[in-house]
């Protein structure tokens, strides 16, 4: 009787509304409302966060297209997205495949690979800014110890790639744990049947594990893309988008325009561009990976 009564209660729409209301309120307050406001601000000229906003139509979007720094930031953001997809998510997948085949030390490797994710981006940024420092950085200390000349590591050509290292290192373990969890859900009898058919080793990973992880891979690609577009703290601490905007990302440029350039209207336009870019990349990646549903 109790069981039947509980079913009747949850069929009551009032309870559904009651449980969904807090979530919907938070969603509206912290996602939908700011998004609508950003769209509105992107059509305005709004300096110094004043009460005066001048409607200028597509003026900010026209400026966005002709802004050379935006194209540098867009190129660097694409580099970061590609690195996140292939090195973060891809690296996590490779580590998961290797660790899954290990009989001993499974928990040790899981802890070691996941550890960087618990360190804040600010701390990682400070650590790598010290490593790259010309006067007292670790890399130049090693160069001096080897009798080699010191180097300026963060140059116009190298800055974006050196900034990628701490970002990629921080989140590889995150995707490693996700893939490892996905592998643990695959029934053993599937692998046993594959072994009877002579499918072992790397062929097992290619023909059995990867197809069954297609949904997990699609989710990780979405997370990697969204994460790459949100990166700010590490880049801002290590290079502040320099030298000469060479490591500028859309996120850091948006911050610079909003709080240093005091042009919140133009910064909102960059936010909209980031959102559209993220949606397009995510849809394309999911179309490439998630062609059909996989069940087991």
Q: Which of 118, 112, 83 is closest to 176 using CA atoms?
A: 112
Position 290 scores a pLDDT of: 63
Task: Examine residue 249 and state whether it is found in any structural domain, yes or no.
Answer: yes
Beta bridge partners of 44: 55
Sorting pLDDT into bands at 50, 70 and 90, what band is 110?
A: confident
| Domain of 247, in residue numbers | 48-289
Computed over every residue of the chain, the mean pLDDT equals: 85
Same domain, 134 and 197: yes
pLDDT digits (tens, 9 = 90+) for 150-185: 899 999 999 999 999 998 888 998 999 899 888 888
Sorting pLDDT into bands at 50, 70 and 90, what band is 98?
A: confident
Same domain, 26 and 150: no
Position 282 scores a pLDDT of: 82
Position 66 scores a pLDDT of: 94
**Cα–Cα–Cα angle for 181, 183, 187, nearest 5°?**
120
- Distance, in Å, from the CA atom of 40 to the CA atom of 43, rounded to the nearest integer, reads 6
Same domain, 23 and 94: no
Phi (first) and psi of residue 55, to 5 degrees: -75, 125
Same domain, 88 and 122: yes
**Mean pLDDT on 184-192:** 83
The share of the chain scoring above pLDDT 70, in percent, equals: 92
pLDDT digits (tens, 9 = 90+) for 17-72: 888 888 899 988 888 898 899 999 999 998 888 888 889 999 999 999 999 999 99
Residue 9 burial (10 A CB sphere; 0-12, 13-18, 19+)? exposed
* In the predicted structure, residue 142 carries a pLDDT above the cut 70: yes
Count how many domains the chain has. Answer: 2
**Cα–Cα–Cα angle for 121, 136, 145, nearest 5°?**
120
Task: Examine residue 42 and state whether it is found in any structural domain, yes or no.
Answer: no
- Distance, in Å, from the CA atom of 261 to the CA atom of 176, rounded to the nearest integer, reads 39
pTM across the whole model: 0.83
Position 10 scores a pLDDT of: 54
Same domain, 94 and 151: yes
- Which run of H or E residues covers position 44? strand 44-45
Position 76 scores a pLDDT of: 94
Position 249 scores a pLDDT of: 93
- What is the b/e burial string over 145-183, where b = at least 16 CB atoms within 10 angstroms of the residue's CB? eeeeeeeebbeeeebbebbbbbbbbbbbbbbbbbbbebb
Same domain, 53 and 139: yes
CATH number, domain with residue 215: 1.10.3720.10
Task: Examine residue 158 and state whether it is found in any structural domain, yes or no.
Answer: yes
| CA 223 to centroid of chain Cα atoms | 6
* In the predicted structure, residue 295 carries a pLDDT above the cut 70: no
């Amino acid at each position: 009787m109790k069981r039947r009564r509980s079913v009747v209660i949850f069929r009551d729409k009032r309870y559904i509304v009651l449980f969904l209301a807090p979530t919907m309120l938070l969603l509206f307050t912290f996602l939908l409302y700011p998004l609508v406001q950003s769209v509105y601000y992107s059509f305005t000229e709004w300096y110094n966060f004043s009460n005066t906003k001048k409607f200028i139509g597509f003026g900010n979007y026209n400026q966005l297209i002709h802004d050379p720094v935006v194209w540098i930031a867009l190129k660097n953001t694409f580099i970061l997205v590609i690195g996140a997809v292939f090195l973060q998510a891809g690296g996590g997948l490779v580590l998961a495949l290797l660790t899954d085949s290990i009989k001993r030390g499974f928990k040790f490797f899981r802890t070691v690979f996941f550890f960087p994710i618990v360190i804040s981006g600010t701390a990682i940024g400070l650590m790598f800014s010290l490593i790259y420092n010309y006067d007292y950085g670790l890399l130049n200390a090693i160069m001096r110890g080897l009798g080699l000349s010191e180097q300026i590591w963060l140059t116009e050509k190298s800055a974006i790639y050196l900034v990628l290292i701490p970002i990629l290192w921080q989140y590889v373990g995150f995707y490693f744990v996700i893939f490892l969890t996905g592998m643990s859900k695959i029934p053993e009898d599937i692998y046993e049947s594959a072994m009877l058919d002579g499918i072992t080793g790397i062929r097992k990973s290619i023909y059995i594990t990867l197809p069954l992880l297609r949904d997990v891979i699609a989710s990780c690609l979405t997370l990697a893309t969204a994460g790459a577009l949100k990166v700010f703290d590490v880049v801002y601490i290590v290079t502040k988008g320099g030298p000469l905007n060479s490591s500028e990302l859309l996120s850091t440029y948006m911050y610079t325009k909003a709080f240093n350039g005091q042009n919140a209207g133009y910064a909102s336009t960059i936010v909209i561009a980031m959102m559209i870019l993220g949606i397009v990349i995510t849809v394309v990646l999911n179309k490439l990976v998630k062609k059909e549903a996989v069940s087991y």
